[in-house]
Amino acid sequence: MQSTTARRKALQEILEQTTIYSQEQLQEQLQSKGIQTTQATLSRDMKALQILKTPSDGYRLPQQQSSSLHPSAQGILSIEFSGQNGVIKTQPGHAPAVAARIDHHPCPSIMGTLAGDDTILLVLRLGFTPEEVLDNLSAIVPNIIEYRI
């Protein structure tokens, strides 16, 4: 039985060297390195390593994600605000990666996100205006203001 550390290190090496689009491919790559794992264990490892899946790039490690991409490159279609909430609309499949990027970047005006397939709910902290939120988000998503409705 492989140790968790060795399995996760192999997983990182595979993702750094190969484009992977499914967990089955990932299991096959691990198997070729002599590592047997279940889908449940693989899912836990992927969560622990904060691996993201994008429609165009497949599974990616957080450090492989650009921290500052143009909104259209991230699939963002619009952002609007209502009270202490904001909603970002994305192309299908892009919301989880964008939300993860927001959650892992210090943003004093955003308490957290909730992502579906193509929609992200931004939960804003009290006392911040939409303009301040957009200013904070611009460090992660340049020109995000252009997508405001």
Residue 77 sits in the same domain as residue 55: no
Total number of domains constituting the chain? 2
Residue 56 sits in the same domain as residue 75: no
Instruction: Please say whether the beta carbons of 26 and 42 come within 8 A.
Output: yes
At 65 the pLDDT is: 52
Q: The pTM is what?
A: 0.56
Residue 59 sits in the same domain as residue 87: no
Q: Which backbone phi and psi does 145 adopt, to 5 degrees?
A: -60, -30
Q: Residue 71 — pLDDT band, cuts 50, 70, 90?
A: low
Which structural domain, as residue segments, surrounds residue 40? 4-63
Instruction: Please say whether the beta carbons of 133 and 86 come within 8 A.
Output: yes
Residue 75 sits in the same domain as residue 143: yes
pLDDT tens-digit profile of 75-127? 899 999 999 999 999 988 889 888 988 888 878 999 999 999 899 999 999 99
Final residue of a structural domain among 14, 39, 63: 63
Residue 78 sits in the same domain as residue 141: yes
Q: How far apart are CA 46 and CA 56, in angstroms?
A: 18
Q: Which residues pair with 30 in a beta bridge?
A: none
For tokens 């790039």, name the residue. Answer: 57
Residue 29 sits in the same domain as residue 57: yes
What's the CATH number where 43 sits?
1.10.10.10
Q: Which backbone phi and psi does 105 adopt, to 5 degrees?
A: -115, 130
Compute the average pLDDT of residues 52-69. Answer: 67
At 30 the pLDDT is: 92
Nearest to 134 by CA among 71, 73, 74: 71
